[in-house]
Amino acid sequence: MKITEVRIFRKDDPKNKLRAFVTITLDDSFVIRDIKVIEGHKGLFVAMPSRKLKDSCPKCNHRNEKGSKFCNQCGANIEGVTSREPQSQENDGPENEHKDIAHPITLECREYIQRTVLEVYDKEKLRHETKVEG
Ligand SMILES: [Zn+2]
């Protein structure tokens, strides 16, 4: 598998840890959007696209974002009654309210994607900064 294109959409809000949205193309034939470049404690890292997990309200079955205190539909108190989906044993834990939509399953592939995305990000950043100064 080869990354044939990386498109960077920079976000330059210093208050936000999100540095850029990224779209990559694999083998000229498969596009993954919503990858993020995030400024972490140990520097930049690449986060795979994810969605917020949802929980059904026990009263009306409205799907609320996991961790919500009240149902958006009927207003019922749903704190703590959140159900665990049986297939979510991996990555379980209270802090895991997001689930990856697409992600590499080998360390090799993960590092390849991260390295490639950050390389392009650095180049874009450099080009941008040079333009501003000169
Ligand atoms: Zn409800």
CA of 65 to the centre of ligand 1 (A): 12
Span from the CA of 98 to the centroid of ligand 1 (angstroms):
21
Instruction: Name the pTM for this structure.
Output: 0.71
**pLDDT tens digits for range 103-123:** 999 999 999 999 999 999 999
Q: What number of H helices and E strands is found in the chain?
A: 1, 8
Say which residue the tokens 């392009």 belong to: 120
* Domains of the chain, residue spans: 1-49+101-134, 51-98
Q: Which protein residues have their CB within 5 A of the ion that is ligand 1?
A: 57, 59-60, 62, 71, 73-74, 76
Q: Which residue has the tokens 């539909």?
A: 73
Has residue 29 got a pLDDT over 90?
A: yes
pLDDT at 43 over 80: yes
* Mean confidence (pLDDT) of the chain: 86
* C-alpha separations of 125 from 44, 52, 107, 118 in Å: 13, 29, 26, 10
pLDDT higher than threshold 80 for residue 16: yes
Cα-to-centroid distance, 8 and ligand 1 (Å):
39
pLDDT value at 88 more than 50 = no
CA distance 134 to 131: 5
Say what the pLDDT of residue 60 is. 95
102: tokens are: 């697409």
pLDDT band at 100 (very low <50, low <70, confident <90, very high): confident
pLDDT of 59 > 80? The answer is yes
Helix (H, G, I), strand (E, B) or coil at 69: coil
Fold of 1-49+101-134: Arylsulfatase, C-terminal domain (3.30.1120)
Residue 68 confidence (pLDDT) above 50: yes
Nearest alpha-carbon partner for 64 in 83, 48, 47: 83
